[in-house]
Structure 1
Amino acid sequence: MRKFTILLALLCLFGVLAVNAQKRVITGKVTAAEDNSALPGVTVLVKGTTIGTVTDVKGEYQITVPEKSNTLVFSFIGRKTVEVAIGSNYNISIAMEEDILKIDEVVVTAIGISREAKALGYSVQNIGNEVLEKAQTPNFINSLNGRVAGLQVVNSSGAAGSSAYMTIRGAASITGNNQPLIVIDGVPIDNGGGVGDVDGVALSNRGIDINPDDIASIAVLKGGAAVALYGLRAANGAIIITTKKGGSSTGKKVSVSWNSSISFEKVNKLPELQTKYGQGRNGKWMSGNSASWGPLLDTCAYSKDPSVWLNPDFDVDGAIVGQHNPLADPALGKIKTYNHYDFFEQGNTFNNSVNIAGGSDVSTYYLSFSDMTQKGVIPNNKFKKNTFKMTGETKINDHFKVSGSTQYLTNRGDRIQQGSNVSGVMLGLLRTPPTFDNAAGYEFPDGTQRTYRLGGGYDNPYWTANNNKYTDNVDRMIGHFQLDYLISDWITITYRLGADFYNQRWKDYFAINSRAFPAGRVTVSQFLSRDYNSDLLINFRKKLANDLEMNFTLGHNMSQLYSYQLSTTADGLDLPKYYNLNNSSNITSFESTYLVRRAAIFGDLGFAYKSFLFLNITGRNDWSTTLPADNNSFFYPSFSAGFVFTELDALKSIENILPFGKIRASYAIVALDATAYNTVTPYVQAAAGDGWTNGIIFPFMGYTGFTLSDGMGNSTLVPEKTRTWEVGADLKFVKNRLGLDISYFNNYGTNLLLPVTIANSTGFASFYQNAAEMSSKGIEIVGYVTPIKKDFQWDIQVNFSKINNVVEKLAEGVDNLFLGGFVDPQIRAVAGEPYRSIYGYDWLRDSLGNVLIDADTTSPTYGFPIGDYSSMKSIGKVDPDWTMGITNSFTYKGFTLSFLWDIKKGGLMWNGTRGALYYFGTHKDTETRNPEDEFVFEGVKAQWDVNGNLVSTGETNDIKVVKDINWYFYGEGSGFTGPTIDFIENSGWVRLRDLYFGYQFAPKILDKTFVRDLTLYFYGRNLLLFTDYKGIDPETNLLGASNAQGMDYFNMPGTKSWGFGLKAGF
């Protein structure tokens, strides 16, 4: 027994010694090479393992190293990565040099794979969290405007919670989604919503749900080679978001960051309205008349004589009569005109967010909460958003790591009616005569409405804002679970399961006596979305020789998208102001489901030779349920290469001038499958109507009814494919004080899907088929320079892009396709023309393009042009000729000043609002209606021939006319009565997109406090706007986040904002 005890003790002792021999503790300190100051937050990793830590506030660290590990890797943003052999050392201290060239910068690419920027054969632009913090936009997508070459962002309106539409390098699909995929920590998420109609409300896209303060960085993947591994969903590019993770950047166990800001918003641009003429027609005041072609107000007075004051509840100031009329009452004062823009309020946005990060070298965590409340510039337009995020990571052992995150996002929007909508706020507001006070009351005690049309026509804007409500609520969960297993120092397995769930509920109601639905209406809807994504990755990273390294990733992906919608409408309410489905006997419902499954296998093979020559090849095969079951598999490859030519010995002599230079090239094929249920002809809910009334919707009178869809299915569909190639160069001069990144790209899409109109005799209206082709080619330039770099530093960055997006071909027998708009004008896709062409009617012209002016003195249109309504013509393209963003940043000690100029050259927009206001006589331009306000139309004189055709005489027009009611109201001078072309305007601009001024308190001021970091800042957005456009901010769009851009018809206006905030760290 004694011998056994001694033996056991010896075994235990040797066991302890053996364990101690297997691991050892390394300590040390990290400093800055230039001044020997401590560097907190430096990441220290044991190479080939998942073991790591960060340095504390003194730059010191401690890490436990396994026996077989022999290298530590030190990395920090803005510093050169350092690898140190451990050997027999127990204390390793280093000095890190500044990475002036930033050639070791790591970017996140497709499927979450991290790559050195210098190794990429395609263009990627990174946006850091500091950009989002300075922009302070509720929707992070708007923060990207002007920051990325080739990325165009359009904010649909200035309404609270409005949507944003974005494209990368133009459109790739004719009728499909053209927005890039958004990926958060490797998980694709839905950015749907925000697509509007010509009426209704401005909705949010789902990108608005994300908390900008949770974002650590954004990588914008542009070309096909950059997104090929993501497959179908990233056919239009990708926005790769990396969120903040656990671990303290200060080296403390726990760090807390808090950011609070408040901003104030005002409408930034509105149409000018006239205040000289009153309500009525032909110079006479008429109570309740729709137009403002009444008398000159300076010649009028009020009267409250009952013989003329017939509608005192509406015309509260009195009837309007001539000053010399015996019934005029001078005691009532001069005629009042009202500033209808007093309707708008000052909006505000309150934003508060806090995050807690911490952990050890084994486990880390990150928690965040945010609260954002936005009050719009229109009464009762509100948007509120709350987010909660948890992220965690733990190392089970030296080879196995588990991580995951979950976000709960919730928001509520109170929306306001807009657009071509008799209950729209802007429509009723801008058509109101200058003498009618909408604010004097919008509802009578009996529940009827007070409007300038005597209760008819259009809703009083205050009525709409208070009585016609649209509310929507969204509850959303985004999360992922990830396992990483290090089989050896060169083989890693990763499995990631992600999900994006959200429920959206909305309630839309119109009060009894509303103009859109006089009997009242309630619609209650819900939409459920369930998006699953699974990735399995096996990564092999191996040195094949001293100068050759291989990186190979083999992967499998599965995804499923399920959605469900139920919408119920009650028409004709029995009880006023009781907005419940039970308050009507006329109930109709709509229900639909949507299910798409996709699977894929892919490979990514890369080689690096001597860190200057890089080659990458990818291949992916997809299967999709939206394609025919016997032909739903398709493969697409990509190739890219990069050559860092400044690594050549022959060029080392010029490294002081050109320390870094790279050329790159790539080729890829990307694909996009069809939308669901187009391979067969589905049955749909039967309905019939005339387009004006609600019509008949089944179930009807106790009978259900279904009918085949108007669109005939196609069992031979194949995926859309886009072939892309790109070449570029990345040059850094003079110690990275000057840089230039230039890219040329060429994309060509084939087999593009579209509905083709077919003969009604077939029993169908359209046939869905692969028929179209479209190209997009252009140039992108990213340049930067640091003119001054001392205590005071000045940085300039320029992003420039010029894109030519052309529809090359449509289906046989089809020359154009309607994308959106009205009967006139329309946004179309037309073969041989730029995508998003505006079509409308023009003036009669001669063979040289001169406008023909009627010179027949006996003609009622003498001196005026004549509309050509024979067919619509192409007026021009919506998309700009080029865009550019110029950012200036100045830093001095703790002070930072930065501002971004956003420039858009060209691009057309239909100003339908101006066209309508010409007809109603409320636009400022219609003030020139007196006989002395003579005008000469530009063009050539023309005479009518015997066949009724207007023929040019060749003589330049000099006929003087007056543009009065006969032109604008009865003639062809308005958007209602004349050709479209007069209301197509240049929508280009120069705007001060962002302004930021902040002060970060010096550490010595905070040393004796519990505050680690403190920054006070002021910011502004859209503070200056220079544009020739005569309407509201031309960045807005009637149809929201849709392919049909360039429409302004009583849109919600844009806004400018300014505010201040406080950011603190503890």
Structure 2
Amino acid sequence: MKKLLLTLISLIVVTAMAYSQRTVTGTVTSDDGELLIGANVIITGQTLGTVTDLNGHYSIEVPDNATELTFSYTGFEPLVVNIAGRSTVDVEMLEGVGLEEVIVTALGISRQEKALGYAVQEISSEEISRANTVSAIDALAGTAAGVQVTSSSGAAGAPSRIVIRGQTSFNGDNEALIVVDGIRMNNDENQTERSLGGVANSNRAIDLNPNDIEKVTVLKGAAATALYGIEGARGVVLITTKRGKGKGLSIDFSTGTTFSKISNVVGLQNTYLQGSNGVWQGPETGQSGSWGPHISESSWDGSPYKWDKNGRIVTDGTGTPFTPYDNVDDFYKTGVATTSNIAFSGGTEFGDYRLSFGYTDDNGITPLNEFKRYNVGLNMGTSLLNNKLKLRIGANYVNSGGRRVQQGSNTSGVMLGLLRTPISFDNSNGLEDPVDYTLEQAIAAGEGANAYQFLDGAQRNYRGGGGYDNPFWVVNNAPFNDRVNRFFGNVSASYEVSKWLSINAVLGLDAYSDNRVQRFEIGSRSVTGGQVIEDNYNYRHTDYYFSLSGGGHLSSDFTLNYNAGVNTYTERLKQNYIQGDALNFVGFMELGNTANISSQITNTNLRTLGIYGTLDLGFRDYLYLSLTARNDWSSTLIDPASNFNGSDISFLYPSASIGFVFSEFINWEGLSFGKLRASFAEVGGGAPSAYLTSTAWILPLQNAGTIDDLNDGWTNGLGFPYKGTSGFVKSGVAGNPSLTPSRTQDLEFGLDLRFYNRIGVDLTYYTRSSKDQIIAINIPNTTGFQRAVVNNGLLETVGGEIVVTANAIKKSNFTWDIGINFSKWKTTVESLPEGVPNQYLDGFTGTGIYNIAPEEREDGSIIVYEYGQIRGGAFQRVNTDNGTFDASQPYNSKGALVINDDPTSSGYGFPLADPNLRVIGNPNPDFLVG
């Protein structure tokens, strides 16, 4: 790498010295004579450029052999001007609709916006910077129609997920593919623990520095993403990083700070104390209920009591009046996130460079929760041989990680610990600094405990050490630390033989190590004997593209452009997992202090080979046809018994789109541009993981939270080695050698309108069908397995989008652009495998998120459910025509409650419980506005 950088720098310097230069100056104005400030002026075909000053004036040094300058300005038509033999060039630019702008599409192929037959949206670096977020994905929230960004939690370093136009897969992985400078970026989360509990592990998109992003292009429909083949079904986020601009050295520095507070919490009763039957029962009793005395009759007696400095609760009116503890408010704090960036950039007429440094320090609202990130980015390129040969290198190093806190459905989860704590127990033990106040300080002060721990090491919580952990115990005695070192980048080269033939090659690399340590002190409710886990991931993928491209005018009426290439993608992941159980003594949470150590090494390798081609035809600047095709071969779908027959894993993904600029034929006042567009495409969805075509043998570990654990879900269960004996078990998932990719077909129609060169309206309607879903189904235990993976099931999506933009004010020294986007879609489950009434996605005992198969009503009508419905316990409601409840019929949420009318029953007069789980909520948004 070091040699390559030195070579590129030398090429830039030597080449720059080999050419003589001259200066061209001038002024840039609009067609009404207004000076244009900040207009871009570049040497045509090169990266060297400048911008106009406050007087609309520019000055640029150009090689003697330069013949053209290109002028561009937001809201104006680009202008190419001949400068041969001229030293002063004044230009007048015409307002335009912006559709001559070049858009980066799939595989980095550039096309004119007006030629596209599908919906695409771009987000500028200015929009991303204004968001001032730690995660680049969070910065995209609300910026594009059909794009849903959700953060998994409010914790520092928590993952954010981006979904485009709803769901296409039953397996839960519906996040968009992220591509940086033409190379796929790994965005895995790699959970060490169960999805419902554990900590909020970052997904790897958080390693991107938002300040390094020049623009983001969102490819939504299948026609836009078909060139990504087996990975194209979920939509694609194309990220283009910043490059050097202008002549000489430019230094940019920015810093920003954001503050966060907990937005809302579940309302808690504030009337009754811990206990039962109106009698107070303290923590030492292990009582979990809050049916003790009423707050109005309770007081503290002030007696010595190790569980509360205010003493015990009495109801005889002799003590100090009781005031409820506000454990939630005492625990959470104001989060502070600071980001700082500095970048050095510049260029010559033959090359450009940009070197950036970024630092992010995010301290969350939960005590001791933090995330830090260090970024270094380099982007440099050069043009040689009269701009026929172009070389570019992009390199990024990231060091990120921090300290995370237990959450979710978890006896060590801080929120559950707070919600379970009664109003009569003080988690902080009256301390001003309950987080950092140590046992040593407590001893020095003559106290028997700090906020969460007694001097003997036992936990201080509301149930005498049982129940749920004291949240202050969790942040101190159940820490999760992680550190990621990552490098990603690419090297590209292109050589233009002629306008009809360019040879292009890109090699990308993404590699990281993710080292994690989870510790639980003795007495933690999740693992009472204590535990230490070291979980290390080493990941690497290479992404290589080689293509031939070219194009031009076939005649005065027709244009043709093509691109044909090959892509190889190789991915390797190695996980080293070491688990130590049963700490020998308190105060030393390391593997060397555990009685039982087990380990597991997992290697995952996969490869995809693709060939692709595009053909773009244009007719008289108003009719455009684009055809693409990609064929993929994927190792994840190989049948081990087929001797790796390539024809068995070959899958073709075609697309066609058309754009018709009808405004060329009509003369409506105010209509600057009008285009109809339509597209059809088919893309794929690969296997959710490798090796599903064969059955594996697994080394089960205690309390690892996977399907292959030998446990009952409540105890630590059985693991190997067991009493000194090693062993493996057959995986609970049966392999399926006949698996194929899921198939997603997409039909899209759109209308683009521009009025007075200042107002834009973009309307889109689409339908999508995702079939042959790869889904895990439960099978009888008599088969020797718990689940099997099959191709089955169908998802249907119907949606629409509206994007309105307006240039409200346009002056030489001030512009104001406004925009709004609206999107709505509905993804329904049209079928599940036969005999499977529902598919569990996530949740807890009795309540969860499910995909539900269509249900037939008593009258023969069919109920079709949206993707991912919340099912839980419910009361019986009338759901038949005769005014009764029938458990075999679909639930009627608006039906009258069925009341227990048996006077001999203990539940007499109360609603009856439904014996089935029913749909009680829908987590899908009604619509999105941004």
In the alignment, is residue 828 of structure 1 matched against residue 838 of structure 2? no
Offset at 1:247?
2.3
1:636 paired residue among 640, 647, 653? 653
Residues 687-706 of structure 1 mapped to structure 2, 5 A cutoff: 688-706=710-728
Is structure 2 residue 834 aligned with structure 1 residue 812? yes
Task: Pick from 560, 563, 579 the counterpart of residue 589 of structure 2.
Answer: 579
Q: How far 1:385 sits from its partner (Å)?
A: 0.7
Q: Which of the numbers 738, 743, 765 marks the counterpart of 2:764?
A: 743
Query: Compared with structure 1, are the counterparts of its residues 104 and 575 closer, same or farther at alpha carbon in structure 2 (3 Å cutoff)?
Result: same
1:438 paired residue among 410, 427, 447: 427
What residue number does 2:774 align with? 753
C-alpha distance in structure 2 between counterparts of 1:859 and 1:45, whole Å: 89
C-alpha distance after superposition, 1:680-711 (max 9, x if no partner): 11111145223222222112222221222121
Moved more, 402-411 or 790-799: 790-799
Is 1:803 matched up with 2:825?
yes
From 265, 274, 278, the counterpart of 1:270: 265
Q: Which amino acid aligns with 1:641?
A: I
Determine which structure has the larger strand proportion and give its number: 1
Task: Determine helix, strand or coil for the equivalent of 2:253.
Answer: strand
Q: 2:405 aligned to 391, 394, 416, which one?
A: 416
Q: What is the match of residue 356 of structure 1?
A: 344
The equivalences for 1:91-130 within 5 A come to 91=87, 93-97=89-93, 99-130=95-126
CA contact (8 A) 1:39 1:59 kept: no
CA deviation profile, 1:988-1043 (whole Å, cap 9, x unmatched) = xxxxxxxxxxxxxxxxxxxxxxxxxxxxxxxxxxxxxxxxxxxxxxxxxxxxxxxx
* Secondary structure of the structure 2 residue equivalent to 1:133: helix
Task: Provide the C-alpha distance between the structure 2 equivalents of 1:51 and 1:512, rounded to a whole number of angstroms.
Answer: 62
Structure 2 length-normalised TM:
0.87
Query: Alignment partner of 1:418: what SS?
Result: coil
> Quick check: 2:48–2:351 contact (8 Å CA) kept in 1?
no
Alignment partner of 1:256 out of 244, 251, 261: 251
**Contact residue 101 and residue 660 of structure 1 kept, 8 A:** yes
- 1:322 equivalent to 2:315? Answer yes
The alignment's C-alpha RMSD in Å is 2.2
**Paired position in structure 2 for 1:84:** 81
**Native 8 Å contact 1:449 1:513 kept in 2:** yes
Task: Report deviation, 1:786.
Answer: 4.9
CA distance in 2, matches of 1:553, 1:335: 74
Secondary structure of the corresponding residue to residue 472 of structure 2? helix
Q: Is the 8 A contact 1:40 1:59 kept in 2?
A: no
Q: For residue 40 of structure 1, report the CA deviation from its aligned partner.
A: 5.3
Of 332, 342, 364, which residue of structure 2 is paired with 1:344? 332
Alignment of 1:81-480 (within 5 A): 81-86=78-83, 89-91=85-87, 93-97=89-93, 99-175=95-171, 177-193=173-189, 197-248=195-246, 252-288=247-283, 289-304=287-302, 312-324=305-317, 328-329=318-319, 332-335=320-323, 337-398=325-386, 399-440=388-429, 441-480=451-490
In structure 1, what residue type is equivalent to 2:215?
Answer: S
Helix, strand or coil at the partner of 2:691: coil
Q: Residue 683 of structure 1 aligns to which amino acid in structure 2?
A: W
8 A Cα contact 2:499 2:550, kept in partner: no
Residues 511 and 521 of structure 1 are in contact (CA less than 8 Å); yes or no, is this contact kept in structure 2? yes
Instruction: State the distance in 2 between where 1:65 and 1:714 align.
Output: 66
Shift of 1:214: 0.4
User: 698, 713, 729: which is aligned to 2:751?
Assistant: 729
Structure 1 residues 419-428 or 270-279, which shifts more? 270-279
Residue by residue over 1:784-803, the C-alpha shift from the partner in whole angstroms, topping out at 9 and shown as x without a partner, is 34556668866542211111
Seen in structure 2, the aligned counterparts of structure 1 residues 768 and 638 have a Cα distance that, compared at 3 Å, is same
| Higher radius of gyration, 1 or 2 | 1
Q: 1:658 aligns with which of 671, 675, 691?
A: 671
Structure of higher RCO (CA pairs closer than 8 Å, 6+ residues apart):
1
> For 1:634 and 1:263, how far apart are their aligned partners in 2?
47
Instruction: Describe the superposition over 1:851-910 as per-residue Cα deviations: whole angstroms up to 9, x where unpaired.
Output: 1123455543233212112x222334321222222xxxxxxxxxxxxxxxxxxxxxxxxx
Which moved further from structure 2: 798-807 or 37-46?
37-46
Q: Is the 8 A contact 1:29 1:61 kept in 2?
A: no
Cα separation, 2, equivalents of 1:549 and 1:91: 34
User: Is the alpha carbon distance of 1:133 and 1:96 closer, same or farther for their aligned partners in structure 2, counting shifts above 3 Å?
Assistant: farther
Q: Distance in 1 between matches of 2:921 and 2:483?
A: 39
Quick check: 1:867 aligned with 2:913? yes
Bigger Cα displacement from structure 2, 273-282 vs 718-727: 273-282
Q: Which residue of 2 aligns with 1:1052?
A: none
Distance in 2 (alpha carbons) for counterparts of 1:785 and 1:51: 30
Deviations 1:41-74 (A, max 9, x none): 624234xx547543575411222254xx755433
Which residue number in structure 2 is paired with residue 938 of structure 1? none
Deviation string 1:959-1012 (CA, Å, 9 cap, x unpaired) is xxxxxxxxxxxxxxxxxxxxxxxxxxxxxxxxxxxxxxxxxxxxxxxxxxxxxx
1:425 shift after superposition: 0.9
Matched-pair contact (CA < 8 Å) for 1:55–1:61: no
Paired residue for 1:842, among 854, 862, 874? 874
Superposed CA offset, 1:475-533 (max 9, x none): 11111000011112332221100011111010000111212222211001100110110
SS of 1:863's partner is coil
Taking the aligned partners of 1:296 and 1:159, their CA distance within structure 2 comes to 36
Q: Which moved more, 1:552-561 or 1:826-835?
A: 826-835
Looking at structure 2, the residues matched to 316 and 280 of structure 1 have their Cα atoms a distance apart, in angstroms, of: 19
Q: Is the 8 A contact 2:546 2:565 kept in 1?
A: yes
Q: CA deviation at 1:730?
A: 0.7
Q: Deviations over 1:111-130 (max 9, x none)?
A: 11111111100000111111
CA distance 1:751–1:342, shift in 2 (3 Å): same
* Alignment deviations for residues 803-859 of structure 1 (CA, whole Å, 9 cap, x no partner): 110111222222221111123112111223211012222212223521112345554
Q: Does 1:677 align with 2:723?
A: no
Note closer, same or farther for the CA distance 1:335–1:486 as it changes in structure 2 (3 Å cut).
Answer: closer
Which amino acid counterpart does residue 878 of structure 1 have in structure 2? P
Deviations 1:515-555, CA, capped at 9 Å, x for gaps:
22222110011001101100112111121011211111111
Asked whether the 8 Å contact 1:36–1:95 carries over to 2, the reply is: no
The equivalent of 2:4 in structure 1 is none
| Of 268-277 and 454-463, the range deviating more from structure 2 | 268-277
| 3-state SS, counterpart of residue 199 of structure 1 | coil
Distance in 1 between residues matched to 2:551 and 2:815, nearest whole Å:
40
Question: Matched residues in 2 for 1:26 and 1:316: separation?
Answer: 81
CA distance in 2, matches of 1:882, 1:844: 31
Alpha-carbon separation, structure 1, partners of 2:226 and 2:27: 40
The 3 A distance-change label for structure 1 pair 420 and 52 is closer
Q: Return the match for 1:647 from 664, 676, 692.
A: 664
User: In 2, distance between residues paired with 1:509 and 1:559?
Assistant: 36
Q: Percent identity?
A: 36
Could you tell me which residue of structure 1 aligns to residue 615 of structure 2? Answer: 605
* In 1, Cα distance between equivalents of 2:59 and 2:185: 39
Distance 1:56 1:800, change over 3 A: closer
How far did 1:734 drift? 2.7
Aligned to 2:441: none
Deviations 1:936-968 (A, max 9, x none): xxxxxxxxxxxxxxxxxxxxxxxxxxxxxxxxx
State the distance in 2 between where 1:193 and 1:264 align: 25
